[in-house]
């Protein structure tokens, strides 16, 4: 009987091991941790690394030596593990994004430790742009703070669709279930307002290691959910972005008369010799003759590969252009809708000319604020003035020359940009494009041109009028329906 039971156990173990192997073969899960200063992020990550045995022996020895002040459980100070930067110890706050690696039998993980201090919103956005999941920490004694709301909002804007709420320091609130329920309820409301549906809330003590890697059944018998690591093992990685081929051209390589290649890192899709491509913004068309990496000729390239592309005909391509699949092209135009986060004390001024940098492309742009996110309610409020630092806003971007973007939710590389202040050279905003506006166009005006979108009859009337007939060359008319014209006017108001 006992032997049979043993066999049964052994049998069921086999498929489990197989599953574990399959999961292990997949890409690592990338996560960010965020929260306010002192919520315990460093302690949590230190605990994750320690309990999953990601800490090497020499590091562990150094830690025991270093950590003169062991905590009251006689364990090393886990936060010290995270002290990548000397400056951090001096200032007592985390000041840069640090990436850490750990794994369980089922999966491997890359965690970006992003700082909680208000002025480092930019680093948080950096960590979030590649993450599959965000772990948001709150101190059980404090509940949700404005900083938690800000970080959850940035994470969702950056395309993260899975959140774990770590209600930390639960040992300090006597493992009170009512507190957990109140905080997780508040958080679920916030997450739903942000459009995030995959939410796991976990009561934990990073310091004591409860519900991080190991459970805490004696302290919280009422909690039946997963530990943090179990939740992470079950999370899904963002599937590789499908979409069309994108190669932002970083360099044109011309080692000799007979060879001309376009170099860059593939930012989306895949390509193989024979595929047809368009070169943007010119719109010229060619076929791929060869794909070269270092000294190898390849028969295909995918997102993330650094390649040199050789085309089958002479075309004019320069740095900042984008080579894209002919049949799945990005948006091109002068006007786009975007969301951005203001990163500098000077904020973002309406109408000021900034440099916009997207990949290898840099162009002039003006920003017109449309609305601002009110963090306390999660609602967008109309806002046409300057954005203060840390504000999250929706804007119209108006370019002098054709810009090329994918929507950020289609492609996180070709949909993202930064704004640079030409006076100071500081990066003043990070942003994501949501859509192109030039289908409606509205009224666009700069020194050279006037662009009008009007119904055909009105367009003719206007052009024959005294003012515009003399300046006909400078005017571009887009003929639109009455309804579209009405939408444009509403949009402008
Ligand atoms: N009692 C208790 N204390 C904790 C827990 N987690 C962290 N702490 C303590 O809270 C303090 C702050 O923890 P850190 O890990 O440094 O916080 P942080 O969020 O990384 O802070 P910054 O790096 O400054 O952003 C430290 O004294 C920790 O020992 C916990 O679960 N229980």
pLDDT score of 471? 58
Which conformational region is residue 38 in: left (phi greater than 0), alpha (psi within -120 to 50 degrees), or beta? left
Give me the half-sphere count of Cα atoms (radius 13 Å) on the Cβ side of residue 398.
Answer: 16
Atom of ligand 1 nearest to the CA of 88: 23
DSSP string, 221-232: TT--S--HHHHH
Give me the half-sphere count of Cα atoms (radius 13 Å) on the Cβ side of residue 290.
Answer: 13
pLDDT score of 479? 67
Q: How much distance in Å is there from the Cα of 186 to the middle of ligand 1?
A: 22
pLDDT score of 375? 74
* pLDDT beyond 70 at 151: yes
Q: Which of 39, 41, 43 to mutate to test the pocket of ligand 1 (most atoms within 8 A of CB)?
A: 43
CA distance 181 to 201: 9
pLDDT score of 418? 87
CA distance 282 to 249: 13
Confidence label for 462 from pLDDT (cuts 50, 70 and 90): low
Q: Residue 423, SS3? A: coil
User: What are the tens digits of pLDDT across the range 367-380?
Assistant: 999 999 887 777 78
* pLDDT beyond 80 at 392: yes
* pLDDT beyond 70 at 446: no
Confidence label for 474 from pLDDT (cuts 50, 70 and 90): low
Q: Which of 74, 207, 210 to mutate to test the pocket of ligand 1 (most atoms within 8 A of CB)?
A: 207
Orientation of helix 146-157 relative to helix 177-193, angle to 10°: 40
What's the whole-number mean pLDDT along residues 193-217?
A: 91
Binding residues for GTP: 35-42, 113-117
CA-proximal residue: ligand 1, atom 13 (nearest): 40
Atom of ligand 1 nearest to the CA of 46: 15
Atom of ligand 1 nearest to the CA of 45: 15
pLDDT score of 360? 82
User: Which domains does the chain carry?
Assistant: 18-233 (3.40.50.300), 246-325 (2.40.30.10), 331-436 (2.40.30.10), 456-492 (no CATH)
Atom of ligand 1 nearest to the CA of 115: 25
β-pair partners for 322: 248, 280
CA-proximal residue: ligand 1, atom 12 (nearest): 38
pLDDT score of 82? 47
Residue 171 phi, psi (nearest 5): -65, -25
Q: In the chain, what percentage of residues exceed pLDDT 70?
A: 70
Confidence label for 156 from pLDDT (cuts 50, 70 and 90): confident
Q: How much distance in Å is there from the Cα of 29 to the middle of ligand 1?
A: 24
Q: Residue 459, SS3? A: helix
pLDDT score of 241? 52
User: What are the tens digits of pLDDT across the range 427-437?
Assistant: 888 888 988 88
pLDDT score of 98? 67
Q: Which residue has the higher pLDDT, 486 or 363?
A: 363
- Averaged confidence pLDDT in the chain: 79
* pLDDT beyond 80 at 113: no
Q: Which residues line ligand 1 (CB under 6 A)?
A: 35, 37-43, 79, 93-94, 115-116, 168-169, 171-172, 205-207
CA distance 441 to 444: 7
Atom of ligand 1 nearest to the CA of 71: 29
Q: How much distance in Å is there from the Cα of 207 to the middle of ligand 1?
A: 8
The residue to which tokens 């119209």 are assigned: 396
What are the Cα distances from residue 27, in Å, to 109, 213, 233?
A: 9, 21, 12
Q: How much distance in Å is there from the Cα of 178 to the middle of ligand 1?
A: 22
Copy the structure tokens of residue 182: 């109140």
CA distance 407 to 226: 35
* pLDDT beyond 80 at 55: no
Atom of ligand 1 nearest to the CA of 93: 24
pLDDT score of 310? 94
What's the whole-number mean pLDDT along residues 190-208?
A: 91
What's the whole-number mean pLDDT along residues 258-287?
A: 92
Binding residues: 35-42, 113-117
* pLDDT beyond 60 at 220: yes
pLDDT score of 88? 38
Q: How much distance in Å is there from the Cα of 148 to the middle of ligand 1?
A: 15
Q: Which of 32, 37, 38 to mutate to test the pocket of ligand 1 (most atoms within 8 A of CB)?
A: 38
Q: What is the pTM of this model?
A: 0.64
pLDDT score of 425? 87
CA angle 381, 347, 250 (to 5 degrees): 105
Q: In a 10 Å sphere around its CB, with 0-12 CB exposed, 13-18 middle and 19+ buried, how is residue 15 labelled? A: exposed
Answer whether 369's CB lies under 8 Å from 384's CB.
Answer: yes
CA distance 374 to 391: 9
Q: Which of 50, 79, 119, 140 to mutate to test the pocket of ligand 1 (most atoms within 8 A of CB)?
A: 79
User: What are the tens digits of pLDDT across the range 309-346?
Assistant: 999 998 999 999 999 999 999 999 999 999 998 888 88
Q: How much distance in Å is there from the Cα of 393 to the middle of ligand 1?
A: 32
Give me the half-sphere count of Cα atoms (radius 13 Å) on the Cβ side of residue 203.
Answer: 26
Lowest mean pLDDT among 7-11, 38-42, 110-114, 344-348: 7-11
Confidence label for 15 from pLDDT (cuts 50, 70 and 90): very low
CA-proximal residue: ligand 1, atom 24 (nearest): 93
Q: How much distance in Å is there from the Cα of 208 to the middle of ligand 1?
A: 11
Q: How much distance in Å is there from the Cα of 179 to the middle of ligand 1?
A: 19
What's the whole-number mean pLDDT along residues 249-267?
A: 87
Q: Which residue has the higher pLDDT, 446 or 467?
A: 467
Q: How much distance in Å is there from the Cα of 151 to the middle of ligand 1?
A: 18
Confidence label for 469 from pLDDT (cuts 50, 70 and 90): low
Q: How much distance in Å is there from the Cα of 41 to the middle of ligand 1?
A: 6
For the CA atoms of 477, 482, 487, 492, what is the dihedral angle to 10 degrees?
50
* pLDDT beyond 70 at 126: no
Atom of ligand 1 nearest to the CA of 39: 19
User: What are the tens digits of pLDDT across the range 96-105?
Assistant: 556 788 899 8
Confidence label for 16 from pLDDT (cuts 50, 70 and 90): very low
């Amino acid at each position: 009987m006992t032997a049979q039971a043993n066999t049964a156990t052994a049998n069921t173990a086999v498929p489990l091991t197989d599953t574990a192997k399959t999961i292990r073969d997949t890409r690592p899960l990338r996560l960010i941790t965020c929260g306010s200063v002192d919520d315990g992020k460093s302690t949590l990550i230190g605990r994750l690394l320690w309990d999953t045995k990601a800490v090497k022996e020499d590091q562990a020895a150094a830690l025991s030596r270093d950590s003169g002040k062991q905590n009251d459980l006689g364990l090393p100070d886990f936060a010290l593990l995270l002290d990548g930067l000397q400056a951090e110890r001096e200032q007592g706050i985390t000041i840069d994004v640090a990436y850490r690696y750990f794994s369980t039998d089922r999966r491997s993980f890359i965690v970006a430790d992003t700082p909680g201090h208000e002025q480092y919103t930019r680093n948080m956005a950096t960590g979030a742009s590649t993450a599959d999941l965000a772990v948001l920490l709150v101190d059980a004694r404090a509940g949700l703070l404005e900083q938690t709301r800000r970080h959850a909002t940035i994470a969702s804007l950056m395309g993260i669709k899975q959140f774990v709420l770590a209600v930390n320091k639960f040992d300090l609130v006597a493992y009170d279930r009512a507190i957990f329920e109140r905080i997780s309820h508040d958080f679920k409301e916030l997450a739903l307002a942000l459009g995030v549906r995959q939410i796991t809330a976990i009561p934990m003590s990073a310091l004591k290691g409860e519900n991080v890697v190991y459970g805490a059944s004696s302290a919280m018998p009422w909690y039946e959910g997963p530990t943090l690591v179990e939740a992470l093992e079950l999370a899904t990685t963002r599937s590789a972005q499908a979409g069309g081929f994108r190669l932002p051209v970083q360099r044109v390589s011309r080692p000799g008369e007979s060879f001309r290649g376009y170099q860059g890192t593939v930012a989306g899709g895949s390509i193989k010799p024979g595929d047809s491509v368009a070169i943007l913004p010119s719109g010229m068309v060619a076929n791929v003759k060869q794909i070269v990496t270092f000294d190898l000729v390849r028969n295909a390239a995918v997102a993330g590969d650094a390649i040199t592309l050789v085309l089958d005909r002479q075309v004019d391509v320069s740095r900042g252009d984008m080579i894209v699949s002919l049949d799945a092209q990005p948006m091109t135009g002068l006007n786009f809708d975007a969301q951005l986060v203001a990163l500098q004390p000077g904020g973002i001024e309406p109408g000021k000319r900034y440099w916009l940098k997207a990949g290898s492309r840099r162009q002039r742009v003006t920003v017109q604020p449309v609305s601002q996110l009110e963090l306390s309610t999660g609602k967008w409020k109309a806002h046409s003035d300057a954005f203060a630092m840390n504000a999250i806003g929706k804007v119209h971007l108006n370019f002098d020359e054709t810009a090329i973007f994918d929507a950020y939710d289609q492609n996180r590389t070709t949909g993202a940009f930064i704004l640079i202040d030409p006076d100071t050279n500081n990066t003043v905003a990070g942003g994501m494009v949501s859509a192109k506006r030039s289908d409606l166009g509205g009224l666009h005006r700069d020194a050279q041109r006037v662009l009008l979108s009007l119904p055909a009859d009105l367009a003719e009337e206007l052009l024959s009028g005294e003012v515009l007939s003399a300046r006909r060359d400078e005017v571009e008319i887009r003929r639109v329906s009455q309804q579209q014209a009405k939408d444009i006017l509403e949009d402008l108001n």
